[in-house]
Chains A and B, each alone.
Chain A
């Protein structure tokens, strides 16, 4: 051991070797079997949606009156509907619409929520109060009702549904973002940066925003299922996408009158929707549990 006198060399023996990166990363899939299964299912939907033209046996809007309302057979695995369209193909294409609408709507909601939440969280005082009451007002209405209101203004169609659902999700996102901003704002490293006389806006850009974006990204993955559900509900009510678009909600509505003797018309898209929602929820929960505690925890 070196004997150090006051005139010792100015650098110290190096600190302990740095811990090699988390060994636990790979074993997530082993530790959470349900998460892994759900992830596989969700990815399967995604693949089916992307490669719909290759995967679907029929054109989803091809009508064939010879095979109207047939139960599942070898040729039509999910049966046919009242126009002779193959339900399996429509379900597969429906995945495409569901995911597109869900993802884009959530992105709109997140973007809007980020802006409003940041403004609310950073401002404080009177303007924060006003913004939060605005958000409270929006949140008082369930997303579906709000989406209906927006559709009434915008009209029907896939793009209108995306916008309507997206706008209706701004409220919840804004609330989450504001909470995160408030929490990050009082962290010590923010004060440390301000101590260096770094202008406030730059501190926000460089320190607050990155710490808020990550929890927001987690929220995005969780809320995709909510967006899909709202859009399907709109279509079910007949005010979402227009026929003959292969949207699950629409398909369920179309099969509603024939449930007693052709239950597959509603059941197949219903199962597809339910399964995707369950899978996405489990995936979202798993992601939240994996990442959120690490954000809040003090290692």
Chain B
């Protein structure tokens, strides 16, 4: 994620989020331990993450199970403190930023994957939207009803939705409410965890066009977790691909997907269903457990082009041409 070309002598622009060698290790019971023992083993959910998110970018965070993307999200939001490394928001550690009043919470809003679960079933939609409006003092009480109507309109819901309860809305409508609530605090960063997965393609299309227009109109910085490369390609300019707790490739979405540098990115690309392409040769085996990371490069056990030194060196994300980075000793593209 390099900076856009600047005028000479211009001060460097600080990224909104910066993660430096972030680690998150959970102590979990050692598998197969005897009944009364307290042996634990470290589950490295995040193992040396380097990430920088610039203001106004839309970033897709892509990974399969065990990649650590949900843990990464929690670190970005300040819900969990990383056990190692530094996680910064506008240059300040995220934990501190969160503790200092409500500015961080107002500025960074989240849309959950389980949109319905994230809404209080006993509150009307209007009350759900009013909560951030009041808490952050966005509008005076007189203007509240109007703002709620505006938010509902913005996400394509009828105004009378405000009187309804979440149980009376469909899955797609509930997602819209979740988006409306996130927007209520007028954030500059929107974080979404699989916000459009599990939906019909037509509902998904509706929500994606909504998100894209919102992002463009409001200049939001978007961090979008998804497993769907098509969604990432449509919605996000930049992409970060994760595998077993580390970001293994970043760069502009088109560049990375058209000419992947990391063999895992290439495998993901090939595995994504495409019209009438023959079914791809899948990656062999299963994703290793994060409890037992492979020696050397974490992808070496499944990599189709692994070489002998891949099992002894553990590559970290390094620059590869303009705006791209890869964590691979022998990348398959030199950008």
Chain A residues engaging chain B, CB cutoff 8 angstroms: 4, 6, 8, 10-19, 21, 187-189, 191-193, 195-198, 206-207, 210-211, 214, 294, 298-299
Residues of B within 8 A of A6 (CB): 212
Known: A10-B154, A192-B112, A197-B102. A15 touches B172 (CB 8 A): yes
What's the nearest-Cβ distance from chain B to residue A34, in Å? 27
B116 to chain A: closest residue by CB: A298
Partner of B79, one of A18, A187, A195: A195
Residues of A within 8 A of B98 (CB): 197
Q: B217 on the interface (CB 8 Å rule)?
A: yes
Which B residues, 148 to 171, have Cβ-Cβ distances below 8 Å to chain A?
Answer: 153-158, 160-161, 164, 167-170
Would B185 and A10 count as touching, CB distance under 8 A?
A: no
Would A192 and B118 count as touching, CB distance under 8 A?
A: yes
24 A-B contact pairs sorted by A residue (CB < 8 Å): A12-B155, A14-B156, A15-B170, A18-B158, A18-B160, A19-B169, A187-B117, A188-B112, A188-B114, A188-B117, A189-B117, A189-B118, A189-B121, A192-B112, A195-B77, A196-B105, A196-B106, A196-B131, A196-B135, A197-B101, A198-B135, A207-B120, A210-B120, A210-B122
Residues of A within 8 A of B206 (CB): 12-13, 15
A188 to chain B: closest residue by CB: B117
Would B168 and A19 count as touching, CB distance under 8 A?
A: yes
Q: State A191–B105 Cα separation when bound (angstroms).
A: 12
Count A-B contacts at CB 8 Å.
Answer: 97
Would B167 and A195 count as touching, CB distance under 8 A?
A: no
Residues of A within 8 A of B89 (CB): none
Q: B176 on the interface (CB 8 Å rule)?
A: yes
Contact string against A for B residues 248-273, beta-carbon threshold 8 Å, 1 for contact and 0 otherwise: 00000000000000000000000000
Task: Enumerate the 10 nearest inter-chain pairs by beta-carbon distance, A residue then B residue, closest first.
Answer: A12-B156, A197-B105, A188-B117, A192-B118, A197-B102, A189-B120, A188-B118, A210-B122, A299-B167, A15-B173
Known: A8-B209, A15-B173, A16-B170. A211 touches B217 (CB 8 A): no
Q: B15 on the interface (CB 8 Å rule)?
A: no
Residues of A within 8 A of B212 (CB): 6
Mostly helix, strand, loop or mixed at chain A's interface? loop
A190 to chain B: closest residue by CB: B120
Q: State A299–B132 Cα separation when bound (angstroms).
A: 25
Q: B137 on the interface (CB 8 Å rule)?
A: no
Residues of A within 8 A of B217 (CB): 10
* Supplied contacts A196-B102, A210-B120, 16 more A-B pairs, CB within 8 Å: A10-B217, A12-B156, A14-B157, A14-B158, A15-B156, A17-B158, A18-B164, A187-B117, A192-B118, A195-B77, A195-B105, A196-B136, A197-B135, A211-B120, A298-B116, A299-B116
Residues of A within 8 A of B224 (CB): none
Q: B213 on the interface (CB 8 Å rule)?
A: yes
Which B residues, 29 to 67, have Cβ-Cβ distances below 8 Å to chain A?
Answer: none
What's the nearest-Cβ distance from chain B to residue A273, in Å? 37
What's the nearest-Cβ distance from chain B to residue A183, in Å? 13
Q: State A155–B98 Cα separation when bound (angstroms).
A: 56
Would B167 and A197 count as touching, CB distance under 8 A?
A: no
Q: B210 on the interface (CB 8 Å rule)?
A: yes
What's the nearest-Cβ distance from chain B to residue A212, in Å? 10
Partner of A197, one of B104, B112, B160, B214: B104
Residues of B within 8 A of A299 (CB): 116, 167
Q: State A166–B116 Cα separation when bound (angstroms).
A: 38
Which B residues, 89 to 119, have Cβ-Cβ distances below 8 Å to chain A?
Answer: 98, 101-102, 104-106, 110, 112, 114, 116-119
Q: State A15–B116 Cα separation when bound (angstroms).
A: 16
What's the nearest-Cβ distance from chain A to residue B74, in Å? 10
Residues of A within 8 A of B136 (CB): 196
Q: State A6–B136 Cα separation when bound (angstroms).
A: 32
Would B110 and A192 count as touching, CB distance under 8 A?
A: yes
